[in-house]
Amino acid sequence: MSVITDPPQQGFRISQLLYDTRYRSMTIQIIALIGFLVAFGWLINNTLANLAALGKPLGFGFLWEPAGYDINQRLIEYNSQMSNARAALVGVLNTLLVAVLGCIAATILGVLIGVLRLSKNWLVSRLMTVYIEGFRNVPVLLWILMAMAIFIEIFPQPRDFRGEDPVATMKIFETVAVTNRGVYLPGPIMNAGSGVVVAAFIASLVAIFFFGKWAKARQEQTGQILPTFWIKLGILIIPSMLIFFIMGKPIGMEVPAIKGFNFAGGIYMRNSLIALWLALSLYTAAFIAETVRSGIMAVSKGQTEAAAALGLRPARTMNLVVLPQALRVIIPPMISQYLNLTKNSSLAIAVGYMDVTGTLGGITLNQTGREMECLIILMAIYLTISLIISGVMNWYNERVKLQER
C-alpha cells in the first residue's frame, strides 16, 4: 500500500462553500433552513398583521368560557354551561369511540370478505368482488349520507311504537327497538353486590391469560396439547355464573320503553353514530379485504404443503403457518387503513354526529369566531391521534416482523 501524501494545505476560500462537496451540503442545508424560516416567518407575520387588522389577536381564553350549546352524545358529563374545552373533549371522545368501533368492525368484516373472496364458491366470490369494487369506487361521504338516509327513511319513528295496535314492534323478544332515531338496546342495571360478579369476571379473564401462557409453556416442554379453547371457555363462564347466582342475580336487564316522545332506559345508539360507524366500516372493510386477500395469496403454496407434510391439521396450518406469514404483509397497509378510517370519521359533520370536528371545529368555531385557534387545536388533536395510532401499530408490526437471523 502506498502512502498518499496529503495535498498541499490551502486556506479556506469562499468558493469552497459551493464547489467543495465537504462544505456544499452544509451550504445547501443552511440556505434551505433560512429559506424555510423566512417563508414561515412571512406566513406568521402576515397572519398576525391580518388578525391585528381585524382586531382579533390570537388568544385561547375562549376555551374556558361557557360553550352555551348542548351535545346529544356525551361519554363524560357535560352541559351547556361547561367550557368550550370540555365540549372539545366530549368531541374527542366521540371521535375515538367511532374510530375504535369502526376499526374493529372493519377488521372483522374485511377479513371475512377477503377470505370469502378467495372462496371456491363461484357465487360468493363474485358477490364479494362486487361488494369490494362497489364500495371502493364511490366516495365515502356519499356512503355516509346514504347510510343516514336509509336510517331516516326506512325505519319507523318512535311514535309508531305507541298505542294499542302499534305500526311497529320491538325486535328480539321485545327488547330491542330499531327506530329512525337510532337503536335502543337493553342495558344492564347494577344492583348491590354486582361488583363481586364483575370482579369475578375480571379475575377469570386474568386466569385465562395465565392459563394460556402456562399451557403454551407446557406444550413447548412436553409436546402435549391441551384443549385450551374449551378450558378457557369454562374458566370464563363457570365462576362468574356461580357467583352471579350465589349473590342472588344482582345484575338485571333494563329494557327500553317508550316514555314521553322517546324511548327511555337501556342503551341508546344514535342513528348518526350507527350510520357513520356502518358506512366507515363497510367502506374500509372493502380496502381491508383486498389487503387480506393479497396477504393470503402472498404466502406460497409450499408453506401449506410443508405444514400438511408435517401432519398439521388445516386449522393449525392456518393459525401457525399461513396467518403469521400473511400478517407480515397485511399489517402495514392495515395501519394506513386504520388511519384513514380515523381521519374519515371527521366526516361525521355531514350527519350531525358530534365528534371533535363537530364540536370544536363546528359549533365552537361558529359561535366564537375564533377560526385560527380552533383549527390549530383541531389539527393538533388529529395529528396526535394519528401519530399514536401509527406508533402503536408500528410497534406491533415490529413484533410480528420476520426475525431475520
Partner 1 sequence: MKKSTFIGTVAAATLAAGFAAAGTLDEVKAKGFLQCGVSTGLAGFSNADANGEWNGFDVAFCRAVAAAVLGDSTAVKFTPTTGKTRFTALASGEIDILARNTTWTFSRDVDLKFSFVGVNYYDGQGFMVPKALGVSSAKDLDTATVCIQTGTTTELNLADFFRSNNISYEPVPIETNAEAQAQYLAGACDVYTTDASGLAATRATFENPGDHIVLPEIISKEPLGPLVRHGDDQWADIARWTLNALITAEELGITSANIKDAAMSAGDNPEINRLLGTEGNLGEMLGLSADWAANAVAAGGNYGEIFERHIGEKTAIGIARGLNAQWTNGGLLYSPPFR
Partner 2 sequence: MSNISYVRTEMLQEKAPPVTQTGIVKWVRENLFSSVSNSVLTLLALWLLYTLLSHVLPWVFQSSWSANSLTECRSAIAAAYGEGTHGACWAVIRERFFQLIYGFYPPELYWRPNLAFILMLVALAPVLFDKLPRKMLWFSAVYPFLCFWLLWGGSIWLPLSIVAGFVLGGFAFKLIGAQFGNLFATIGAFLVPILWWMFAASPVASGIHSAIPLGLEAVESAKFGGFLLSILIGITGIVLSLPIGILLALGRQSDLLIVKAICVGFIEFIRGVPLITLLFVASVLLNYFLPPGTNFDLILRVVIMVTLFASAYMAEVIRGGLAALPKGQYEGADSLGLDFWQSTRLIIMPQALKISIPSIVSTFIGLFKDTTLVSIIGLFDPIGLSTNIRADSAWNGIIWELYGFIAIVFFIFCFSMSRYSMYLENKLKTGH
> In this structure, what are the phi and psi dihedrals at residue 139, rounded to the nearest 5 degrees?
-55, 145
Distance of CA 141 to the CA centre of its chain: 18
Q: 37-41 — which CB contacts under 8 Å span 24+ positions?
A: none
CB 229 within 8 A of CB 215: no
Q: Measuring CA to CA, which residue among 310, 318, 320 is closest to residue 115?
A: 318
Q: Of 131 and 263, which has the nearer Cβ to partner 1?
A: 263
Residues 6+ apart with CB under 8 A from 134: 286
The size of the interface with partner 1 (CB under 8 A), counted in residues, is 40
User: Strands (DSSP E) along 110-229, which ranges?
Assistant: 177-179, 182-185, 187-190
Report the candidate in 30, 328, 279 with the shortest Cα–Cα distance to residue 134.
279
Q: What is the CA radius of gyration of the chain?
A: 29
The three three-digit cell numbers of residue 380, written as one number: 393538533
Residues 103-122, interacting with partner 2 (CB under 8 A):
116, 119-122
* Among 363, 377, 378, 381, interactor with partner 1 by CB under 8 A: 363
Using the contact rule CB under 8 A, the part of the chain among 170-178, 208-216, 228-236, 340-348 near partner 2 is 340-348
Residue 99 touches which member of partner 2, partner 1, none, C-beta under 5-8 Å by kind: none
Residues in region 52-71 near partner 1 by CB under 8 A: 54-56, 68-71
Contacted entry of partner 1, partner 2, none for residue 47, CB cut-off 5 to 8 Å set by kind: partner 2
Q: Does 49 bind partner 2 (CB under 8 A)?
A: yes
Q: Per rule CB under 8 A, is residue 297 in the interface with partner 2?
A: no
| 357 is a contact residue toward partner 2 (CB under 8 A) | yes
x-marked contacts with partner 1 along 78-117 as a string, rule CB under 8 A = -xxx------------------------------------
Residue 356 · residue 91 · CB < 8 Å? yes
Cell representation of residue 83: 367550557
Q: Which stretch binds partner 1 (CB under 8 A): 1-9, 277-285, 286-294, 358-366?
A: 358-366
- Judged by CB under 8 A, which of 344, 351, 363, 364 binds partner 2? 344
Tell me how long the chain is. Answer: 405
347 binds, among partner 2, partner 1, none (CB under 5 to 8 A by kind): partner 2
Coil, strand or helix: which one is 191? coil
260 contacts partner 1 (rule: CB under 8 A): yes
Cα dihedral 361, 179, 284, 324, rounded to 10, equals: 120
Distances (CA, A) of 106 to 65, 140, 248, 362: 38, 14, 39, 27
Assigned C-alpha cell, 277:
360507524
x-or-dash pattern for partner 1, window 149-188, by CB under 8 A? Answer: x-xxx---xxxx-------------------xx-------
Q: Which helix (H) or strand (E) holds 67?
A: none
Q: Tell me if 351 sits within 8 A of 145, measured CB to CB.
A: yes
Residue 262: in which H helix or E strand, if any? strand 262-264
Report the residue from 18, 38, 108, 253 that binds partner 2 according to the rule CB under 8 A: 18
Judged by CB under 8 A, which stretch of 44-52, 172-180, 197-205, 295-303 contacts partner 2?
A: 44-52
What 3-state DSSP class applies to 377?
helix
Query: Out of 153, 165, 220, 398, which residue is the one contacting partner 2 (CB under 8 A)?
Result: 153
The span of 7-15, 118-126, 148-156, 322-330 binding partner 1 (CB under 8 A) equals 148-156
Binding site for partner 1 (CB under 8 A): 54-56, 68-72, 79-81, 149, 151-153, 157-160, 180-181, 259-262, 264, 271-272, 349-350, 352, 354, 358, 362-363, 365-367, 369, 371
* Binding-site ranges for partner 2 (CB under 8 A): 18, 25, 28-30, 32-33, 36, 43, 46-47, 49-51, 53, 116, 119-124, 127, 133-134, 136-142, 145-146, 149, 153, 339, 343-344, 346-347, 349-350, 357, 361, 371-372, 375, 378-379, 382-383, 386-387
